[in-house]
Amino acid sequence: MKRSKGFILIETVVAAAVMSVFLTVMFEMLIMFKGIYDRGESDVEIQENAQILQQFVETRMQLCSQVINVRAEGERAKGWSEFEGGEIQKIRFKLETIEGEIYINSDTKKLFYRTDFYSPGYEFADYVSSMKAYKVDGGRGIRMVFRLERENCGMDVDFTAYFRNV
């Protein structure tokens, strides 16, 4: 006997099951695409900060005539002549008539620049988790390595700069 007045219970249950499977698949795809978008956004943000950081620091290092001192976290400042290389928190250098300093705030992962020690300086890079410096050619230049991290993405910025008039 054929019924033509609406749905029977089994048709309703099957339709609800198909819709729930479809919605679950769509929701899972949405979550997956959100993760891909976030990862891509983090990569782009880190690359942008890496470009700004490298251009800014490399220019300052090329324009400086000497590095005055460097300081690692929790240690006293060491003169450039006694420093061998490694992770640092601050680097002071001599520009033409002023002294400049680049330092990392470990709590906020931001890199700051200040001149003549006017506090606090200004921020020019985000997501910087570490800063390393090494002597090049007996102290005539510097190799700097910065580690940038955001969420699950990371990138190293590595460059060498030679000091002016050395």
CB–CB of 120/114 below 8 Å? yes
Q: Residue 142: its pLDDT value, please?
A: 93
| Kind of pairing between the strands at 141-150 and 85-88 | unpaired
Q: In tens digits, what is the pLDDT along the chain, a chain of 166 residues?
A: 566 666 688 888 999 999 999 999 999 999 999 999 999 999 999 999 999 999 999 999 999 988 999 999 888 999 988 998 899 999 999 988 889 999 999 889 999 999 887 777 889 889 999 999 999 988 889 999 999 999 888 999 999 999 876 5
According to the model, what pLDDT value does residue 90 have?
94
Element (H or E) spanning 145, and its range? Answer: strand 141-150
The reported pLDDT for the residue numbered 2 is: 62
Under 8 Å between Cβ of 77 and 67:
no
Domain map (residue ranges) of the chain: 34-162
Q: Using CB atoms within 10 A of its CB, is residue 36 exposed (0-12), middle (13-18) or buried (19+)?
A: exposed
pLDDT at 11: 87
